[in-house]
Every structure is written in C-alpha cells, then in structure tokens.
Copies of this chain bind each other. A is one copy, B any other.
C-alpha cells in the first residue's frame, strides 16, 4: 500500500513548528466552529486548521466521492460513511494542496485567507457521534498488576486472558471532549470497616491511559471481520482517558462488570488521526503464548509505536509527568480486537468507538493508572508542588499526550486534558 500523504520528504507551505504533532504527514480530522462559522469538518496542520466545508465550496475537493453536507456537519460520521478509500483519497488530496511544491491553493491568498484559520480562533467540538463504545482490557502488564493487587499474585492472569481480548460495553452518552471538565462521581461504596455499603463521592477517582479507535460501517449482523480485513474498517485513532472510580468498581463489578464506576465520563482528544497516517509507525507485536485460536491469528505488523505520557496538573500549580508508556506494549492489537468483537456476528457501524484498555508498560513508571502507579495507595506519587497523590483530587487536571516519530517525521495526537470538579 502506497499512501502519497505519508511521504516523509513532504514539506508544507504552512509553517509547522518542529515539535508539532501536526505535520503534513498527519492531517487528522476534527470538527471546528467559531462565533461566525457553523460546525464543520476540518484538518489540522501545525497551528492552523483547514476548513473543509469552505475548501469544498471553493472547488478544491472535486472528483472525490463527497457532497457538501459531508463536511457541513457537526460530526465526522457523514464523511466516514463514504468509507476507507474515500478518506484516503481525501487525505492525499489535502496533502497535495498543502505541499510546498504545489501552487493551486498556496498561491491563491484570497482562498487561503478563507480556508486556513489559526487554531486559537476556533472551538473544537466532539468530532464523532459515537454509536456504541466498547472497552478492551488488552495490556498484559495492566491485567497482571490488577491480578496481583486484587487476586492471587501467583495466578495474576485469569484463565481466559491469554485466549481472549477481553472486552465489555461502555457508555457512549458520557464520552466528552478534551477540555470539558467532569464531576467527581458519587455512588455506593463498601468500606472494609463498615458492614453495609454507604453512599459517598468516590474517594478513589482514577484515570486509565488508553487509545481509542473509531470504525467505519462494518458488515451485516451475522458476518465477521477477519484480522486481515480489520484495518479496512478502522477510520482513525485518538487519545482516550477511561475515567474510573475504583471504590465504586470494587463493590459493583461482580458478576456483570464495571458500570457506574466507569460510565460517568470518558474523555477523548479532539483530532482523529487516520490509521493511514499511522502506517509508518507499525511495529511487531509481543509474542503471544499460548498460540491464539485461528480467528485471532494475523500476518504482518499490527502494533504501533506511539509514545504516551500522563501528567497531573494540580489547581494553580505546574504539571507533573507521572507516567511514560507506549502503545506498542499492548498484548492484543486492534485487528485482533475487531476480529474478536465481530466473530460472533456482532455488527459495527460508522462512529463506533473501541478503547484499548489501560496501556501499562513493563516498568513502574510506565503504568497507565493511579491504581498501579501508586500501587493501591501504598506508594503515593510526589507532585512538583510538594503535594502527594494516591488518586485524583478535586480540581486536578489530568493530561495525556501521544505521538510517533520516525525518519524525522512526527505524527501526534495532541492531548486529552480533563479537569475534575467536586461532586455536584
């Protein structure tokens, strides 16, 4: 597969700062609005955003399988309905329009003024109307850490874990955009010292460092998507914070899984990086032993080298980076997740979201949750302002960042940043 927009030698006539996540090789999609512009599809480059609605009206997107309403929309879903090849052709076209060696748009300053906006001048909107949201549990390090803490250290992984990319359904209605504050959840908790449960704000609010991917329309009910086909059904990826209330989770989750411990909020980053743009950053996956069942086998590279970090910014203080992890650690990859999800005949639709599960690395400073980093509260983390954290406090902002880099090209996700407000 050759994707012209991925060419590492491409340079844009739009200035891109060296450490920018949004090189011309990235070109992620999002939804912007301004006081004067209705919500519309846009592409990010450097510190600018390209307004695709206006670009379409000006005729720059001709001979592509799109209509004005695909871009003149408050969500990316309509555009995504056109499928993978259309997205690829669109991204290649935009790449060409932004290429320093191409004059068409570059030399028409009147048009440039209309289509290129400073990122500070626009408001980001929730990019996708999410149909179903599924969360996986695919980091062996994370599952092992949880098993060691709460079950038997000698048998930390449950019997099915090495056979199944374990997943469960989550709540789509409470997925929020980076920048939107959330409220500390309340609920039933069962302290060890009381006989009966009590009702209280969660005192063990945690994040989970994850990445999410969005699907295109899949196959009809009853059909399955193979690992070989999976990438054709994946639109793109984002950073994902799967907020979790550990005390609520502990009391409620047996036997049907996490519910109120998770569904109060999950946060996503604003720019959806296409799977195409991630192609150069593919790497080998961890070896899987025992050998997986045949519907989970795959050929080629299916993991991605994505540097990740988590920071906590206390109220009125500077942030402290508390974890550095990498998406490549995941035991189960996205192709296996999607193949498993549909192997029973379950259907997926344009705009469905799948979370990777907490991305914990092998070392203590690469864990993807406070539960693991502070080891159930036994090893509080020191903040730069002198305070300590076992879990997330009110007015803390949790920030996750991620990017890939290779051959001098950087493709990143920006950040997902969420402030926690006291329980209402």
A-to-B contact residues, CB < 8 Å: 131-132, 137, 158, 160, 163-164, 166-174, 176, 182-183, 185-188, 190, 196-199, 221-224, 245, 248, 251-260, 263-265, 290, 293-295, 340-341, 343-349, 352, 421, 423-424
Contact = CB atoms under 8 A, between A and B. Distances in A.
Given A171-B346, A196-B290, 13 more contacts: A160-B190, A164-B188, A166-B252, A168-B256, A169-B259, A173-B349, A176-B221, A185-B344, A197-B293, A221-B265, A223-B424, A255-B257, A345-B423
Contacts of A171: 132, 169, 346
A265 B190 CA distance: 35
B343 A187 contact: yes
Number of copies: 2
Contact of A163 (B170, B172, B197, B257): B197
B263 A183 contact: no
A58 B48 CA distance: 52
Chain A interface, >50% SS class: loop
Contact of A424 (B164, B190, B222): B222
Please list the 9 inter-chain residue pairs (A to B) with the smallest Cβ-Cβ separation, ordered nearest first. Answer: A257-B257, A183-B222, A185-B344, A169-B169, A168-B256, A256-B257, A260-B344, A264-B344, A222-B424
B258 A256 contact: yes
Given A254-B158, A293-B188, A182 B221 contact: yes
A157 to B, nearest CB: 11
Nearest to A352: B173
A132 B259 contact: no
A133 to B, nearest CB: 8
A51 to B, nearest CB: 28
A262 B285 CA distance: 29
A166 B173 CA distance: 19
Contacts of A265: 221, 345
A293 B344 contact: no
A265 B171 CA distance: 18
B166 A347 contact: no
Contacts of A257: 168, 253, 255-258
